[in-house]
Amino acid sequence: MKKTGNRFDIRHKETLTLFLREYFELFFPDLVDKIRFETARFPDKELIALFEIDGEKKTGP
């Protein structure tokens, strides 16, 4: 079975990378002055791996 979610996921990541400050200005205006956007890092690794156990997604505690 072919995964189709990844092709859309990359678009969201790229958008947040390019417009991170604007995103926070729109949705979290109170936090904008507390964040140093110039130090933001965007690792290539998927964080979903942190929530997988033996290749299966963990859905609860």
Query: What is this structure's pTM?
Result: 0.56
Q: Which residue has the higher pLDDT, 46 or 25?
A: 25
Instruction: Identify the pLDDT of residue 40.
Output: 85
d(CA 28, CA 17): 16
Percent of the chain with pLDDT over 90: 31
Tally the domains of the chain: 1
Q: Which residue has the higher pLDDT, 34 or 59?
A: 34
Instruction: Identify the pLDDT of residue 41.
Output: 82
Among 6, 18, 7, 8, smallest CA distance to 42 is for 18
Supply the range of the domain harboring residue 47.
5-57
- Contacts with 35 (C-beta within 8 Å, 6 or more apart), sequence order: 24
| 3-class DSSP assignment, residue 59 | coil
Instruction: Identify the pLDDT of residue 24.
Output: 95
Q: How far is CA 57 from CA 18, 20, 23, 31, 48, in A?
A: 29, 28, 28, 32, 8
